[in-house]
Structure 1
Amino acid sequence: MEQRSVRLGVPGHDADLEVVRYGHWGRPVLLFPSEAGAARDAEGNGMLDAVRPLVDAGRVSLFCVDSLDGWSWSDTSLPTEERARRAGAYTAWLSEAVLPWVQGESGGSSEVVAVGPSMGAYHAVHLALTRADVVPLAIGLSGNYDPTTWNGWGEVGDATHFANPSAYVAHAGGDHLDWLRARVSILLVVGQGPFEVSPTRSLPATHEFANVLSGKGIRHELDVWGHDSAHDWPWWSRQLAHHLPRFT
């Protein structure tokens, strides 16, 4: 399988982050790791193998990115507002560095699918909602879409609000909401098995966010898997292999 990588700098952070491309052709899929994970986690945890037939057939190219969660959302020594500010630097990096590189690698015209498991689901959905012009589809696997529930503390302000899909979608209106309704689609997938309720809150949080999207008339699907479906890579790989073919 063809593979190449690039390291791109994050403004305000002293390390470059890696983006790894797998494949030679097809619709670009921007794939996030789980919390605090790395670009090569999808390969190491079986997700690449699960969708390899699509990659080998030239139907998709996977663009796997490093997270910056350890410096932002996962650093619970920081108040929520500071964590949100730092997460904003990561979102800006995705928008200003990663997406242009992905589009350049893909011929410049392909619409991107964003995918992620666990905290990666949050990143995928948040990117689609903020950059639906380039990323009109997100697939969130076992996500929680309200960062204020992630061991949050301290006063919150604009940085937290605009990094919180559960909040800013609930308050969306006017032309912007009309644009989201016309442009974006969200697929929310979650299981009912181990660790999907506690401690991750993925199952209730996914239902809650689906209700927010429904209340705003934003196109979405909710796919709830069974009580054997756990919060772990083997199930996320299976779920992505099940859904991705219809979007390529």
Structure 2
Amino acid sequence: MTENYHRWHSPNTNTDLEMLVFGTRGYPVILFPTTKGRYYQNKDFRLIESVRWFVDNGLVKIYCPDTIDDRSWYNKGIHPADRAKTYEGYDRMLVNELIPWAVHETGVSRVAVAGCSFGGYHAANFAFKHPEKVKHLFSMGGAFNIKMFTDGYYDDTIFYNNPVDFLPGNNHSDLWKMNIILGTSEHDICKGYNIELSNILKRKNIKHWLDIRPFANHDWPIWREMFPHYLSTIR
């Protein structure tokens, strides 16, 4: 499986970011790590290995970037308003740096975004904020209410990075053209968040699949089962 390492200085986050890219061609998939995870986490936990067939056959090209969780939502050393502002820089990085990179390399105008656990938040937040840039959303064990990280503080920047708050009022037409899969499991600590988000989508008549798998926990084994299944829905 072809693997390439990239490092660059992001003007939007004002940090150096690192990324692994798997494959040479195919549909672009932006795959986020879990809480504070690094760019190599999805490889180390064999999520990439679970979809080797798709990569080796040129069906997908997977981009695994760093996040800045420790500088944004998980940074208890700064005010919640600054956590949100810092995260906005990450969102701008995706819009202005990573997505154009993936689009240029693959020739596909709307990417797929995916992630497990807190990576599912990153994927869903970006997809619902920028539906014109995303065709497929695959969340596995995600949670979608960022207010748990804001210590009771609330402002517009937090609102527009909290999918359960801004999605009900978002009527961008591309939301109804997106392939949305919310993967969770019977014993997933985040199952309730997925049901809540599914209910919002239902009220908006947005087609999606709430995939609740039996007997499984919030952990990598079930995510390694989900991810190849979900990639198989890319058309």
TM over 0.5: yes
Q: Is this contact kept in 1: 2:4–2:20, CA < 8 A?
A: yes
Residue of structure 2 in register with 1:210 after alignment? 198
CA distance in 2, matches of 1:30, 1:181: 18
The 5 Å alignment of 1:87-166 reads 87-106=87-106, 108-150=107-149, 152-166=150-164
Cα–Cα, structure 1 residues 12 and 30, in superposed 2: closer, same or farther, change >3 Å? closer
Residue of structure 2 in register with 1:182 after alignment? 176
Report the RMSD for the aligned CA atoms in angstroms.
1.7
Q: Is this contact kept in 2: 1:79–1:153, CA < 8 A?
A: no
CA distance in 2, matches of 1:178, 1:71: 30
CA distance in 2, matches of 1:41, 1:3: 14
Residue 53 (structure 1) aligned with residue 82 (structure 2): no
Stretches of structure 2 that go unaligned for 5 or more consecutive residues are: none
CA distance in 2, matches of 1:91, 1:164: 13
Q: Which SS does the other structure have where 1:21 is aligned? A: strand
More divergent stretch after superposition (122-131 vs 178-187): 178-187
Residue 169 (structure 1) aligned with residue 157 (structure 2): no
TM-score, normalised to structure 2, is: 0.93
Amino acid at match of 2:228: A
Q: Is this contact kept in 1: 2:34–2:117, CA < 8 A?
A: yes
Shift of 1:19: 2.2
Shift of 1:82: 2.3
Stretches of structure 1 that go unaligned for 5 or more consecutive residues are: none
Could you say which structure has the higher strand fraction?
2
* Aligned residues between the structures: 235
TM-score, normalised to structure 1, is: 0.88
Shift of 1:182: 3.4
